[in-house]
Amino acid sequence: MRIGILGAGGMADALGTQWLRAGHEVMISGRDPGKTAAVATRMTSVAGVAGGPGGSVLTGTWAEAAAFGDVVMAAVWEAGLRDVLTAAGPALRGKPLIDVTNSATPDSYDPTRPIAQMAADITGANVVKAFNLGHVDVWRMTPPVFDGRPLAVPLCGDDAEALEKVRALVTDLGCTPLDGGGLARATLLEATAAFVIGLWFGGADAQAILTPMEHAGA
Ligand SMILES: NC(=O)c1ccc[n+]([C@@H]2O[C@H](COP(=O)([O-])OP(=O)(O)OC[C@H]3O[C@@H](n4cnc5c(N)ncnc54)[C@H](OP(=O)(O)O)[C@@H]3O)[C@@H](O)[C@H]2O)c1
């Protein structure tokens, strides 16, 4: 798959490196071309050292990364998301767009402003909310497995083909894709992130709030 990434920070680096290693072609984009090129060089080197197929991470403008990807991932801070998606332009229309965005802090989360829906409204892309519940370092793990159990990654989106592509990218990490429902439910993923990140920042073990399945009353 060709994966265009809007962003050249931690999430772009972590997930893009995994996907390069899995044999995908990756292009990243950022505000500062010099910084973006340095990140691409490091990603290429890390993926190669870890046994990747040896392809290089490409760099481009927001619009070039949007046009490059069969799948595009938005991995910039919420404050810049609207401008970046606008600059990415019409190439995003009808394309699978992974949205990993959380509010800048748990306290600034606003349930009346759904982020993934905003991304869909701006771009006309087939947005899939994913990867927003795990810390960036989790996405560097090969694979993210805890107590012998692969991390489950909930996906919220409306388009079957986009969901299928993102499920494959989740599986490439060694994680298990989980059906989280349609895009309207992405706001629940955004709220969940704000809630559990607030617990983690407060020093609580957020994982401990959920009972095992056999006690879920399901
Ligand atoms: N970090 C995590 O653990 C984590 C986990 C799950 C989801 N997320 C979400 O993933 C997204 C990216 O996080 P990250 O950890 O990759 O952040 P990061 O390392 O700080 O990188 C953010 C990227 O966004 C760009 N950016 C920041 N502000 C911008 C603006 N106003 N306009 C345009 N571009 C801007 C940065 O460009 P410069 O390099 O030029 O600053 C950089 O390319 C965020 O929405 C975050 O909520 C993060």
For 19, the domain range is 2-215
Q: pLDDT 10s per residue in the chain (218 long)?
A: 999 999 999 999 999 999 999 999 999 999 999 999 999 999 999 988 666 666 899 999 999 999 999 999 999 999 999 999 999 999 999 999 999 999 999 999 999 999 999 999 999 999 999 999 999 999 999 999 999 999 999 999 999 999 999 999 999 999 999 999 999 999 999 999 999 999 999 999 999 999 999 999 98
- The CATH number linked to 174 is 3.40.50.720
pLDDT of 54 reads: 62
Other CB atoms within 10 A of residue 118 CB = 17
Question: Which single residue is written with the structure tokens 């960036």?
Answer: 136
Residue 74: how many other CB atoms lie within 10 Å? 30
- The answer to whether the CB of 11 falls within 8 A of the CB of 100 is yes
By C-alpha distance, which of 28, 61, 31, 22 is closest to 42? 28
pTM of the model: 0.97
**Ligand 1 centroid – CA 75 distance (Å):** 6
Please give the tally of structural domains in the chain.
1
pLDDT at residue number 56: 92
Residue 188: which residues within 8 A CB-CB, separation 6 or more? 156, 180
Max CA distance (Å), the chain: 54
For residue 55, what pLDDT is reported? Answer: 84
Half-sphere exposure of 67 (CA within 13 A, CB side): 9
Paired tokens of 76: 């910039």
Mutational pocket test of ligand 1: of 18, 29, 35, 76, the residue with most ligand atoms within 8 Å of the beta carbon: 76
pLDDT for res 218: 82
Candidate from 5, 11, 84, 133 with most ligand 1 atoms within 8 A of CB, to mutate: 11
Note whether 11 and 75 are within 8 A (CB).
Answer: yes
**Ligand 1-lining residues (CB < 6 angstroms):** 7-12, 30-32, 35, 75-80, 83-84, 100-102, 132, 135-136
